[in-house]
Structure 1
Amino acid sequence: MAGSSQNICLLSVCDATPNSFGSFEEFLVALSEKLRQEGWIHVIIFRGKPIEEVEKSLLSQGAKIRTMKPSKLGAVNFVQFYKIIKEIQPNYIHFHFYPIYSIVNYLSFLFNVKIIYTDHMGSRKPKSTFKKIIRKPYYLTYSKLFSCGIEKIVCVSEFVKSKYSREYGINPKKMCVIYNGINIKRFQKKLNIKDIRKKYNLEEDLIITCIGLRFDKGPHCLIKAAPLILQKVPNVKFVLVGDGKFKNDLEKQIDDYKVRDHIIMTGTLTDVTDIYSVSSCVVVPSICEEAFCFIVAEAMAMEVPVIAFDSGAIKEVIHNKFRVIPKNHIVLADRVVEILKEGNASDKKEMRAHIIKNFPLEKCANEHILLYRNLLKKK
């Protein structure tokens, strides 16, 4: 398939099974649409069969879908991908959520194919001193063995690029930054506010939202800050969106801090735009280092003020850096109170304009197309 510009083929390999129509799935659909318009072929490999909505959307844009469950053994993956590449003959293989250093990269020497990676993940601190000590030499060793076949590594923020260079020993020349994008049309403020409030039993005027109930997303930090906020702004409801194992710990903490009457837990939502539309502010108390943070971009696109811990790439995404704070629940409470009392309408319009300019889905897809074109020209 490498001969004509009309049959250039991209193989996107994703170690994921889409069970919702999230931001990554929207990116694949947008990219597939651009590739179809260019006359390119797009083959996508998922770990498992995607949900029907994702599958239909991709197929409608001309994408072809296959499934393959990767092995923990690099040699097994090498053989599987060897067979797939021999059959499909792609010009590019773009790995998403795969480990960057593996024997799979040697496939670039057996086929005329350019290998690209994006891992989309942030940074977590090593859980032990031993892991902290061996992390850098481990990755430096692997970089010597397996980096030679990599054409380019896409970083979703400058933070990720810095992490790769610092911790993984990757040559900066092999990296480029393409920020994630969001669907601007989907993330815009809804007008049926009364109906949404009734649906979720949100009678209070002031709504503070936190999305993601995993420990590393820091919802417990908001619970800890809640009594301090309520002392100064009593008429507040805290909306926690999501589910998971950490929910039981949060339930106990909610009772310990005696804020049960002010908490609504929605569970997992297929569409969070309702909650964004009625939120007075969105809190992002991540204690992990965020690679990008879709929540920040989504909330600002819907004209909702964001207060976020200083985690990873959040400073690169947020409009007002005054709202990036240290990882401290007391500071969080103080800043929430300030935001609730100031209510700056003009700033809300600026937030959406900031996202439209810097992080639209179309820009993200276009920059990927440009990257592929430039790599095709490279000898």
Structure 2
Amino acid sequence: MRCKSKLHWSTQPQTMEYIHTTTPNSKKGNIYQTVCLLSICDATPTSFGSFEEFLVALSEKLRQEGWKHVVIFRERPIENVEKSLLSLGVKIKIIKPSKFGIYNFIQFYKVIKEFKPDYVHFHFYQIYSIVNYLSFLFDIKIIYTDHMGSRKPTSAINKLMRKPYYFICSKFFNVGIEKVVCVSEFVKSKYLTDYGIKPKKMRVIHNGINTTRFQKKSDTKEIKGKYNLKEEIIVTCIGLRFDKGPHCLIKAAPLILQKVPNVKFVLVGSGNFRDYLEKLIDDQKIKDHVLMTGIVTDVTDIYNISSCVVVPSVCEEAFCFIVAEAMAMEIPVVAFDSGAIKEVVHNESQIVPKNYTLLADRVIELLSEEDDISHKKEMRNHIIENFPLEKSVNEYFQLYKNISQNKE
């Protein structure tokens, strides 16, 4: 989930009217109408990340096919995301979801009544809820994408109740769902192993990234100057949240510095966890070796100056854009064995158990290796072949068409 934007906006979102076209794919009554997709995202874009690029690329595909696209965010997105969507004829609305399902039901009822979509696609929403009963009131197809990995229950009661809770919810609210898209095989498997739900309505469509944007640049001097970096070896960790595990890298840092002293650890992101990390950095006496950048506007700059990217996720990752983005830029990755990361990496030697000492050992080994250009090219080619943005967008569009033709 993305944090709230710190930029100030007017209370009403800017919208752009559609250029109406007709297509024989949607027939309501005896009148053919433009097919409409309503994407409801429980997210607030504060950067132009890979999920935002997916929405833009999907909108472009829909426009080419003569479809409409309406996107709902929980709060107004940053300007470049908004402008990119509006330029493609997308309408944007802001609805902040409630903890109360009946309130969400009423809000989405109003939106569906206004835009009359053919498909309603939920992103980052609870899958089994009363909202699915909207399918009884409208001629719509409901799709969910499950972007979430999994976390261990925080108490014995949660552990005991997790499976029956999700299982019972699925029995009550499974109605109306056409398909649940899982962004990895790991996500699909959790329904059976964690929730006891048979994945009959599920299929896997991996996330994709813009491999044109994420590619190595030859000149790094200007970028290093921007961050006051010299000739240090750069070890990067992105995401200052507990579940992303930056504290594990900080604990590993003194062990790495013993063997490779000329290292700068670059931590990207912001949030409440930063205070804890700053104290941990002081405790480890490595303050001179750490750069905390805050939120960056273009993360490709950080990848470009990195010697390696560390992904010490302590949660079970649903996919992990960071791994795919770094590899597309030919940057070696060392990651914890977390969820679907094994599905993304090129080689399982990039994976280590969730232990900061083993993490340090692997980073030291990697930094000590000779630069292998052919291996880096293999990493990029692996991402281009398996996780390009175009492939993901085309699979989603084909899914919509198959559902309308009862092929799914």
What's the TM-score bracket when you normalise by the shorter of the two chains? over 0.9
Instruction: Give the match for residue 365 of structure 1.
Output: 393
Residue 148 to residue 168, structure 1, CA distance change in 2 (3 Å): farther
Cα displacement string for residues 101-120 of structure 1 (whole angstroms, at most 9, x for unaligned residues): 11111111222211101131
Write out per-residue CA displacement over residues 91-133 of structure 1, whole angstroms, 9 at most, x where no aligned residue: 1100111111111111112222111011312111111100100
The one-letter code sitting in structure 2 at the alignment partner of 1:288 is C
Instruction: Count residues in correspondence.
Output: 379
Q: 40-49 or 78-87: which moved more?
A: 78-87
Aligned to 2:375: 347
Is 1:264 aligned to 2:288, yes or no?
no
Distance in 2 (alpha carbons) for counterparts of 1:280 and 1:229: 14
- Within-5 A mapping of 1:288-367: 288-342=315-369, 343-367=371-395
SS in 2 for 1:93: strand
Residue 149 in 1 paired to residue 176 in 2? yes
The answer as to whether partners of 2:26 and 2:33 remain within 8 angstroms in 1 is no
User: Matches of 2:156 and 2:98 in 1, distance apart?
Assistant: 29
**Does the 8 Å CA contact 1:291/1:312 hold for their aligned counterparts?**
yes
Structure 1 runs not aligned, ≥5 long: none
TM-fit CA distance, 1:146: 0.4
Number of the residue aligned with 2:42? 15
Is structure 2 residue 30 aligned with structure 1 residue 2?
Answer: no
Deviates more, 1:135-144 or 1:64-73: 64-73
Match of residue 29 from structure 1: 56
Deviation at 1:196, TM superposition (A): 1.5
- Matched residue, 2:187: 160
Q: Find out whether 1:48 has 2:75 as its counterpart.
A: yes
Give the whole-Å Cα distance in 1 for the aligned partners of 2:198 and 2:273: 38
* SS in structure 2 of the partner of residue 173 of structure 1: coil
3-state secondary structure, aligned to 2:104: helix
Q: TM-score, normalised by structure 1?
A: 0.96
Aligned equivalent of 1:174, options 198, 201, 210: 201
- 1:247 equivalent to 2:274? Answer yes
On the 8 A contact 1:6/1:39 being kept in 2, the answer is: no
1:361 aligned partner, one-letter code: L
* 1:33/1:62 contact within 8 Å kept: no
Structure 2 residue runs without a partner (length 5+): 1-24
TM-score (norm 2): 0.90
C-alpha separation between the residues in 2 aligned to 1:285 and 1:82?
A: 41
Query: Is 1:65 matched with 2:92?
Result: yes
Pick aligned residue for 1:38 from 43, 49, 65: 65
* 1:110 and 2:137 are equivalent in the alignment: yes
Following the alignment from structure 2 to structure 1, what is the Cα–Cα distance between the partners of residues 32 and 264?
A: 56
Select the residue among 142, 154, 165 that pairs with 1:138.
165
Which of the numbers 154, 160, 166 marks the counterpart of 1:127? Answer: 154
In structure 1, C-alpha distance between the alignment counterparts of 2:222 and 2:246, rounded to whole Å: 26
Letter in 2 for 1:339: L
The percentage of counterpart residues that share the same residue type is 72
Separation in 2, partners of 1:72, 1:282 = 36
Structure 1 residues 77-86 or 294-303, which shifts more? 77-86
Question: Bigger CA drift: 339-348 or 197-206?
Answer: 197-206
- Specify the SS of the correspondent of 2:200: helix
CA distance in 2, matches of 1:33, 1:157: 24
For the residues of structure 1 that align with 2:89 and 2:32, how far apart are their CA atoms? 17
Q: CA RMSD in A?
A: 1.5
**Counterpart in the other structure of 2:302:** 275
- Whole-Å Cα distance in 1 between the matches of residues 132 and 150 of structure 2? 23
Match of 2:262 among 217, 223, 235: 235
- Which residue of 367, 375, 379 corresponds with 2:403? 375
Is residue 225 of structure 1 aligned with residue 241 of structure 2?
no
Q: 1:281, 1:6 → 2: CA distance?
A: 51
AA matched with 2:402? N
CA distance, structure 2, for counterparts of residue 169 and residue 63 of structure 1: 38
Q: In 2, are the aligned partners of 1:287 and 1:309 still within 8 Å (CA)? A: yes
Contact 2:130 2:173 in 1 (8 A): yes
Provide the residue aligned with 2:9 in structure 1: none
Letter in 1 for 2:176: G
